[in-house]
Structure 1
Amino acid sequence: MTPKSIQIAGQTIGHDARPYVIAEMSGNHNHSLDRALEIVDAAAQSGADALKLQTYTADTMTLDCDGPGFVIEDEKSLWNGRQLHELYVEAHTPWDWHQPIMDRCASHGMHCFSTPFDATAVDFLEELGMPAYKIASFEMIDLPLIRKVAETGKPMIISTGMATVVEIGEALRTCREAGNDQVVILKCTSTYPATPENTNIATIPNMRETFGCLVGLSDHTMGTGVAVAATALGAVLVEKHFTLARADGGVDSAFSLEPAELALLREETERAWQALGKITYGGTKAESASKQFRRSLYVAKDMAEGEAFTAESLRSVRPGYGLEPKYYDTLLGKRVNRAVAKGTPVDWDLIA
C-alpha cells in the first residue's frame, strides 16, 4: 500500500499536498559563494520548497587518473573529453559553504538538504542537521551508502535513473531493513539534458503500484511540460536543476531552469495537482448554475387548447428549464390541455 505522505521538516509531501519543488544548485555557483547565495534567493523568490546541494570532493567521487573510463568519451555529452576528477573539482560545492547556504535558505523559510556521495559526506551533513537526504541515480546501487543514510532516520529521496526493478527493490529493502520507510523514489532519465521522448513518465503510476511508495520526478528536460505531465500522473515531487542565467555558463547550466521558468514550474505543477481532484460525474457544485444553459423542450409558437405538438411547435432550445430533449419523440402528437404561449418551457402538466 502506498503511504499517504511523508514529512520533511514538518511539510507534507504526498498526494494531498501540492507538488514539492526542489531547486538543484549543483555546480551552477561557478565557484562563487556570493553567486550561490544569489541562487538561494532566486529559488526562494521563484517558489521552490527546497534548495538541494551535492556534497562530495573530487577525491571522494573518483580517482585522479586518465585511464580507460576516467575520461568522458561521448560526443553527445556536455562533458565530452573531460577527465572525471577535473570535472568534479570544478563542479563540487566547498563543504565550508554548506552552513552559510543553509542559513540563507532558513532566512527564506526554505528547506535545504543535500546529496551525499560517500560515508564521510553523510557524517558531515548529519553535523549540520540535514532535514532530508537525496540519493543520486548513479549512487542508487551503492547499498552501503543507502544503508548509512537510511540509518539517520531522515526522509530519503532516491533517483532511480537506469535502475532495474530488481535494483530499485534492493535499494528500498535496504532502507526498510534499516527502519526507514520515509522514502520517495524519483523517475529519472540519466542523460543531461534529457529529451521528453526518452523520459517515459508513464512509468510513474506503475512505480507507485510496484514498489508501494510515493513517486516523484527528477527532470533533466528543458522547460516545464514534462514536470506538469508527471504531476498529472501522480508525481508528488519535482526536482529541477536551477541557475540564475544559462548564459552565465557552468557545468549544469545548459539544462537548468532560470528564475522565471522555475516560477512557472511552481505555478503550473500546482495547477495540474489542483486539477486532479477526484473521480466525479454529474457536474460539480460550481457547475450547478450552468445547467440553465443546457437544451430543453420549449413551446415554439402559440398553441390553442387541445392542439397537438408538431415539429413547428415543439423545439429543443436553450435555456434548460423545460423537459429534457430525450422526450421529444414521446411528446410529438401529444395535445396540450390549455392555451400555451410561445416560449413556455414544456412540462408534463401541459399534456392533456
Structure 2
Amino acid sequence: MKIGNKEIQNFGSPYVIAEIGANHNGDMELAKKMIDSAMECGVDAVKFQSWNPTSLIAKEEYERNQSYDDSPKKHFGSLKEMVDKYYLREEQHFELKEYCDSKNVDFCSTPFSENEVDLLEKCDVPFYKVASMDINNFQLLNYLCDKNKPVILSTGMARLSEIDKAVELLVKNGVRDIALLHCISIYPPAYEDINLKNISMLQQAFDLPIGFSDHSIGFSIPLASVALGACIIEKHFTTDKNLPGWDHEVSADPSEMKIICEESANIAESMGSYARVVSMAEQEKKKKFRRSIVTKRELKPGHILTNDDMTSKRPGTGISPDMIPDLIGMKITKNIEEDHLISWDHLT
C-alpha cells in the first residue's frame, strides 16, 4: 500500500511513526518541540491520540478513580484530572496539522470515537491508525470503511481469530489498503513476551503489510523487527524521559529515535535478495584477495608439472587454485621463475 508517496511493503524501508500520543502533556509548545525533534531524527510521521474526557472512559470508571499502574511512573491526581489535562482539544488538532505541514512531516492520530474520525477527516490525515484496544470495536471499524483511507491496525491483546474478524470486516466493506502491526500492549513488555516471530506469522496468515508497534525500552527490538520484514515502525517518542506523564519513560528519546530511523533504513537495504549475487565490488576484490597457482621453484621448458611444483598465492588474476589437479601432467613450454604465476601460455 502507499502512504502519500511512500510505498509500504514487507522488507521495504520502514515507515517510521513517532508516537507522541499524550506526551505533549497538554502543552502545544512542547508538542511542537517534539515534532521538530522527531522530524530531525528522520521519522516519516508524528502521531497523536484523539480522545476527550467523554469519548473513551465511562463515568463509572472515573468514579472508581481507576489508575493504570502498568506504567512505571507515578501520576498526579485522579484519572479524570489526568485525562482533562492531557487530551488534545479540537482546535489543537488543526494547529498541529498546520505545523506538521510546514515541517513536511505527516500528521496523524488515533481516533477513539466516530466524532474524532470526523475531526481527523477535516485534518486530512493520510491514514487511520486503530489502537489495539479497538480491534473488536466493530462500530468504529465500520465507520472508517467509507473514508477511502488506508487503515493501520494494531493487534495487541488480540487472538488470531480476532485479528481475522477485523481484517475480514474491513475488506468486506471496501477498505483496500490495510496494514497490521504486531504489538504487545504492556509498557514495557518482558523480552520473552515480545514474540517477534509473530511478524513472519502475520505475513503468511494475511498477505498484508506487517509492521511493529513497539513498547520496549531502547532501539534493539524495533531494529530486529526490520530484519523480519516489518515495514512500519511505531515507537513512543519524547524529548525527555523524565517529564511527567503516562508514557515518557517507555518512549524513545531523540538519540534512540535517530538510531531507529537511520539503522532501520540500512537494515532494510541490506536485506537484499534471496538470489546469491556477487557484486561488482566483490568481483574486483577477488582479483586482489583470491589466490592463483604459482611456482614453488624455477621451471624449465619441457618439465612435466607435478603437485609438488605448485602452490597458490595472491593475487587472484591467474589460474584458480582449484585447477591444480588439472595442471598435473602438463608440459612447461616457457621458462617460469620461482614464485611466479603460471598462465595458460606457459603450458601445453
Partner of residue 298, structure 1: 294
Partner amino acid, structure 2, of 1:135:
V
How big is the shift at 1:41?
Answer: 1.1
Of 117, 140, 158 in structure 2, the residue corresponding to residue 122 of structure 1 is 117
**Alpha-carbon separation, structure 1, partners of 2:180 and 2:56:** 23
**Alpha-carbon separation, structure 2, partners of 1:318 and 1:271:** 33
**Alpha-carbon separation, structure 1, partners of 2:25 and 2:184:** 24
> Where does the alignment leave 5 or more consecutive residues of structure 2 unmatched?
none
How big is the shift at 1:274?
Answer: 0.7
Please identify, of 130-139 and 196-205, the stretch whose mean Cα deviation from structure 2 is larger: 196-205
> Where does the alignment leave 5 or more consecutive residues of structure 1 unmatched?
1-5
What SS class does the counterpart of residue 136 from structure 2 fall into?
A: coil
What SS class does the counterpart of residue 269 from structure 1 fall into?
A: helix
Asked if the contact 1:91–1:251 (Cα under 8 Å) also holds between the matched residues in 2, the reply is no
1:319 aligns with 2:348: no
Partner of residue 153, structure 1: 148
What SS class does the counterpart of residue 59 from structure 1 fall into?
A: coil
TM alignment of 1:35-74, pairs within 5 A = 35-65=30-60, 71-72=66-67
TM alignment of 1:1-352, pairs within 5 A = 6-15=1-10, 17-65=12-60, 71-72=66-67, 77-78=71-72, 85-292=80-287, 293-310=289-306, 312-332=308-328, 334-352=330-348
Asked if the contact 2:132–2:153 (Cα under 8 Å) also holds between the matched residues in 1, the reply is yes
CA offset digits 1:86-143 (Å, max 9, x no partner): 5533442222211111111000111101101111211222222222110001111111
What SS class does the counterpart of residue 54 from structure 2 fall into?
A: helix
**Alpha-carbon separation, structure 2, partners of 1:96 and 1:304:** 93
CA offset digits 1:22-80 (Å, max 9, x no partner): 01111111221111111111111111111111001132111233599873475x54378
What SS class does the counterpart of residue 259 from structure 2 fall into?
A: helix
Please identify, of 227-236 and 278-287, the stretch whose mean Cα deviation from structure 2 is larger: 278-287
The TM-score, its normalising length taken from structure 1, stands at: 0.90
Partner amino acid, structure 1, of 2:255:
A
Partner of residue 3, structure 1: none
How big is the shift at 1:218?
Answer: 0.5
Partner amino acid, structure 2, of 1:272:
I
Relative distance call for 1:283 and 1:191 in structure 2 (3 A) is same
